[in-house]
Amino acid sequence: MEFHGPSTVEEAVSLLASDEEARCLAGGATLVAMMNADLVMPSALVSLRHIEELRGIFTDSGGGLRVGAMTTHREVAEADGLAGAHALLSDTARAIGHPAIRNMGTVGGSIGHGDPQADYPGALAALDAAVEVRGPDGTRPVAAEDFFVDYLETALLPGELIAAVTLPPPPAGAFGAYEKFARVEGDYATVSVAAVVAMEDGRCSYARVALGSCGPTPVRAEAAEDRLTGSALDDADIAEAAAILREECDPVDDVRGSGEYRMMLVEPLLGRALRAAAAKGGAR
């Protein structure tokens, strides 16, 4: 197996494009574990560790956010001053694995694996994020919802890598909350809910909700968000929104819980996420 440590994205892309069996090595939190278990045997590893432009968290003048693909979960978790709903990204990063994993794992590595049980996908979907993809033909933005294609499958084409995730400016007055239910601390979610909510005079004026571990990709339902918008987020509103979301779910049975149980969790976790997000806005 060959090992490459390029210092530019262009070099990395050309290495990846020249060898279909090559894999990007980001933090290694998932890939190295899979290699140790003989699940993947890449012909070459292209480490992205030395590519400076893939690191860091930047806010642009318009209020949009750019998080480099090689930014670690810990860096995201500890990012100060993320505006309004953008702080949901930090909340989500804090829920990933354990300190050792958060020190190694990266945003790009996590979403590039395309695991619907991971924490970031739902948060990115709820934040209307885009994934900045770089390849032999240059840069293309892919909306988070289009990026996650199927279980362990993303929109990345051969030779492409993830350069960053970008968030539009936070919706006015909105705040986010991440509600994760797992068997033990640090496990993948049995079900997770990422919610972004704005409240005005006790009524919900903006709602974005995405579920994790409820299907092959993050689950969103505009009809559910429409049902919540304008409501007071009372029990009936949440129950009806949950029912709409459940229609979109296609969860698996596995050691983390049966599909049926995951469906039982949607309503209570949705309620907790929405109310936690609403509470962050205080008495608006």
Site residues (vs another protein, CB under 8 A): 33, 36-38, 98, 181, 183-188, 190, 254-255, 257-258, 261, 264-265, 268-269
Contact call for residues 161 and 133 (beta carbons, < 8 A) = yes
The identity of residue 27, as a single letter, is G
Q: Give the span between the Cα atoms of 267 and 92, in whole angstroms.
A: 20
Give the closest residue to 226 by CA, choosing from 250, 209, 251, 247.
209
Give the nearer residue to another protein in terms of CB position, either 58 or 261: 261
Give the nearer residue to another protein in terms of CB position, either 93 or 198: 93
Residue 186 beta carbon to another protein: minimum distance, rounded to whole angstroms: 6
Degrees to nearest 5, angle at CA 106 with 104 and 110 = 115
Give the nearer residue to another protein in terms of CB position, either 155 or 249: 249
Q: Give the span between the Cα atoms of 57 and 106, in whole angstroms.
A: 12
Residue 31 beta carbon to another protein: minimum distance, rounded to whole angstroms: 14
Q: Give the span between the Cα atoms of 116 and 153, in whole angstroms.
A: 10
Question: To which H or E segment does residue 89 belong?
Answer: helix 87-94
Under DSSP, is residue 42 helix (H, G, I), strand (E, B) or coil? coil
Q: How far is CA 138 from the centre of its chain?
A: 24
Residue 185 beta carbon to another protein: minimum distance, rounded to whole angstroms: 4
Contact call for residues 212 and 192 (beta carbons, < 8 A) = yes
Q: Give the span between the Cα atoms of 166 and 153, in whole angstroms.
A: 20
Give the nearer residue to another protein in terms of CB position, either 133 or 278: 278
Residue 121 beta carbon to another protein: minimum distance, rounded to whole angstroms: 18
Residue 40 beta carbon to another protein: minimum distance, rounded to whole angstroms: 15
Residue 255 beta carbon to another protein: minimum distance, rounded to whole angstroms: 5
Residue 182 beta carbon to another protein: minimum distance, rounded to whole angstroms: 9
Give the nearer residue to another protein in terms of CB position, either 115 or 132: 115
Give the nearer residue to another protein in terms of CB position, either 36 or 61: 36
Give the nearer residue to another protein in terms of CB position, either 184 or 283: 184
Q: Give the span between the Cα atoms of 280 and 177, in whole angstroms.
A: 9
